[in-house]
Structure 1
Amino acid sequence: MDYKQALKQIDEGRFEPVYVCYGSESYLIRQFIRRISDKMIEPEHRDFAVSKYDLTETSVQNVIADAETLPFMVPRKLITAGNAQFFTGSKDSGKVEHQLDRLTEYLQSPVDYTVLIFMVQADKLDERKKIVKLLKEKNVLVPCLPLTAEELQQWVRREAKREDVTLTDRAAEQLVLYTGGHLQTLAAEMEKIALNVGRGGTVTEELIEALVVRSTEQNVFILIEQVVQLRLDKAFALLEELLKQREEPIKIVMLMARQFRIMLQVKELSKQSYSHQQIAGQLGLHPYAVKVAEGQARAYDTEKLSRIISQLSDLDFKMKSGGIDKVLGLELFLLGLAV
């Protein structure tokens, strides 16, 4: 079942005895567990009703034994088991021996007083495995994957509504851009912004600019976006800010080269009709980063992108060999991009 469908069932008070939450968006996994816990267990019962296991340290058969044990002083209990790598195609390097036949037996006749949630940080499960096929038949696989650009915009608007603040479309886009589309960061920044403006307040682009904390990588990402949009004043202001923070110019060049390589790769894969999600999987990126890189790449043809990457390589060599002043080299490069 998809994530929204699973949440809808939980909100209606219907719980599957077993779930497998998989994917790289750990924020969604935590939210899923919190939703079940809030709906299923009274706050005063949680000390007795919730158990957590790490499957690199505990066998699945021991987890199931706990699931089958009657709850103590509470009507129902919730068990979470992380690092369930045996559902994937990756080699399990742990020292714990898991008897998956025991899990298969349990799935045929689970108890009605326990909800058992397995978690695995993987975007795909190995559907060749019998246990995964069985879980798919039971319809208890819950993907927790990075949201698309459109889904991120919807998520931000929902959070703004929940916090009772007004967020314009442009401010929402800027917030997603500045956080790289990562939900954990987005949630933290949204909470901070909402506290700043108060209920009923309006979130402006200037406020996001002032409040949202950005990594060096994200600043370089935004700097290139400003150059692509021919907003050179903002690009140079951002470069000056990075230099004031004592960021090493060679590191900035390295990050620029990485982003232009991504733009070239995205451009090539888009020509082959790959979707944003497929490209993200191929390159190990967030789908939102792919969307922005695709937009940035439209400003350049393949030959120009290859030439820019070569220029950055030459600039890197000159900086390291003392052939050019590092800051001057960066400024000249940015000016060249706008020509």
Structure 2
Amino acid sequence: MKEIDIILKNIKNKELLPVYFFHGEEAFYIDLAVKHLEQDVLEEDEKAFNQTVVYGRDTSYPEILSLARQYPMMGDRQLIIVKEAQDMKLNEDESKALEAYLENPVPSTILVIAHKHKKLDSRKKVSKMLAKAGMLFTSEKIKDYQLPAWIQGEITRLGIKSAPNISHLLAEYLGNDLSRITNELNKLKIVLKNDAVLDGKVIEDNVGISKDFNIFELQRALGSKDMSKAFSIAYYMGKNKKANPVQMAFGVLYNFFSNIVLYHTLSGQSPQNIAAEMRVAPYAIKDYAEAARFYPLKHATRVISILREMDLKSKGLGVRQMEDEEIYKELVYKIIKVDELKVKV
């Protein structure tokens, strides 16, 4: 069970700690835990007197700790939540004040500190004290290769039936903003009725991603050297550059062809080992196996050079700056015709 699941379960069961210090680059899990603490620690009629929410830019650790040492009014406990705590100073004096409180926290106070977008310095004594007491919780940024699996987990948790590869499509277009992904999935759950399946058409209608003309389908067309389909998709994407920024396409295709290169170097190993080394789902290996037939190692390496060249062109370096539509068409032509072109590697 993930750490966040344990935290949420304990909050629901009223198994509470005197201090929660959330930190890390991924704000989503921090916000989720704070939301549950706000909702579940106190009863509604207690919140007016015993629940205090402040923001880091408006307060300091000494002020917060002074509040924490007070006793609740007309209740058994008080809840103090510090949001955006990364905006508070934590120099030597503040650290010592927090260390002193951690040595003897007030049992009737639940102190919640949400320190987002960066980690607390692990070398600090206060960090070590929090960790030793089990009060320090790290929210790590999800890796790009983990994102489709995370999205699929959310789809399953919400009880949504989905077509194959939908999680990959959403990952490509929504990026790793977990809050945005969660919001979109919740909206889609409302749209889907009578056990309807989440497929490309539903996404196209409600999220603005074309089920036929997207980077996922362009990658597939390039991987099988389907020139007609690849040009059709590239034309559409170039005409709709706001929804299909060319820089995103470069990133996706760079990863794809880098994995083809890696697939060639792993030739002869089991599909399970190849998937593990490439950090992709096992079912995706067949797509790389097919693409590797069309792009031998030498050609896959050349494609990476083409992507770098086109990236420079898109930024106007060395040549006039090209429009996205031109970039997409030239990119598709050069990739599919890579075996006929002379490309510097």
Q: Same fold (TM over 0.5)?
A: yes
2:312 maps to 313
AA of the residue aligned to 1:60:
Y
1:55 maps to 56
> Which segments of 5 or more consecutive residues in structure 2 lack a partner in the other structure?
264-278, 338-345
Equivalent in 100, 104, 109 of residue 109 of structure 1: 104
Of stretches 230-239 and 24-33 in structure 1, the one that deviates more from structure 2 is 230-239
Where does 1:134-283 land on structure 2 (aligned, <5 Å)? Answer: 134-148=129-143, 152=147, 155-157=150-152, 159-161=154-156, 163-198=158-193, 200-213=195-208, 222=216, 225-230=219-224, 235-245=230-240, 247=242, 252-257=245-250
AA of the residue aligned to 1:9:
N
User: Structure 1 length as normaliser, TM-score?
Assistant: 0.71
What displacement does 1:10 show? 2.2
User: Structure 2 length as normaliser, TM-score?
Assistant: 0.70
| Structure 2 CA distance for aligned equivalents of residues 162 and 104 of structure 1 | 39
User: Residue 149 of structure 2 contacts residue 167 of structure 2 at CA under 8 Å; is this kept in 1?
Assistant: no
Of stretches 6-15 and 237-246 in structure 1, the one that deviates more from structure 2 is 237-246
**What whole-Å deviation, never above 9, does each CA across 1:66-92 have from its counterpart, x for those lacking one?**
112222344322222234449xxxxx8
Residue 165 of structure 2: SS of its match in structure 1? helix
Residue 321 of structure 1: SS of its match in structure 2? coil
**What whole-Å deviation, never above 9, does each CA across 1:221-252 have from its counterpart, x for those lacking one?**
5476345434655654444444444659xx95
**What whole-Å deviation, never above 9, does each CA across 1:270-298 have from its counterpart, x for those lacking one?**
9xxxxxxxxxxxxxxxxxxx969x99998
What displacement does 1:207 show? 1.4
What displacement does 1:135 show? 0.7
| Structure 1 CA distance for aligned equivalents of residues 146 and 313 of structure 2 | 40
RMSD over aligned Cα atoms: 4.3
User: Residue 223 of structure 1 contacts residue 239 of structure 1 at CA under 8 Å; is this kept in 2?
Assistant: no
**What whole-Å deviation, never above 9, does each CA across 1:295-322 have from its counterpart, x for those lacking one?**
9998664454134312443565499638
Residue 58 of structure 2: SS of its match in structure 1? coil
What displacement does 1:260 show? 6.0
AA of the residue aligned to 2:181:
L
2:334 maps to 336
User: Residue 3 of structure 1 contacts residue 143 of structure 1 at CA under 8 Å; is this kept in 2?
Assistant: no
Change (3 A) 1:165 1:115: same
| Structure 2 CA distance for aligned equivalents of residues 6 and 308 of structure 1 | 44
| Structure 2 CA distance for aligned equivalents of residues 123 and 30 of structure 1 | 14
| Structure 1 CA distance for aligned equivalents of residues 17 and 202 of structure 2 | 43
AA of the residue aligned to 1:26:
A
What displacement does 1:61 show? 1.0
AA of the residue aligned to 1:132:
S
Larger radius of gyration: 2
What displacement does 1:133 show? 0.8
**What whole-Å deviation, never above 9, does each CA across 1:163-216 have from its counterpart, x for those lacking one?**
44322443333333332242111111111111111263322232123322469x
| Structure 2 CA distance for aligned equivalents of residues 122 and 166 of structure 1 | 33
User: Residue 60 of structure 1 contacts residue 98 of structure 1 at CA under 8 Å; is this kept in 2?
Assistant: no
| Structure 1 CA distance for aligned equivalents of residues 249 and 302 of structure 2 | 17
Change (3 A) 1:63 1:146: same
Residue 206 of structure 1: SS of its match in structure 2? helix
Q: Figure out how many residues of one structure are paired with residues of the other and give that number.
A: 307
Change (3 A) 1:14 1:26: same
**What whole-Å deviation, never above 9, does each CA across 1:126-146 have from its counterpart, x for those lacking one?**
221111111111111112223
Change (3 A) 1:80 1:185: same
| Structure 1 CA distance for aligned equivalents of residues 145 and 247 of structure 2 | 30
1:34 maps to 35
AA of the residue aligned to 1:125:
L
1:65 maps to 66
> Which segments of 5 or more consecutive residues in structure 1 lack a partner in the other structure?
87-91, 271-289
2:10 maps to 9
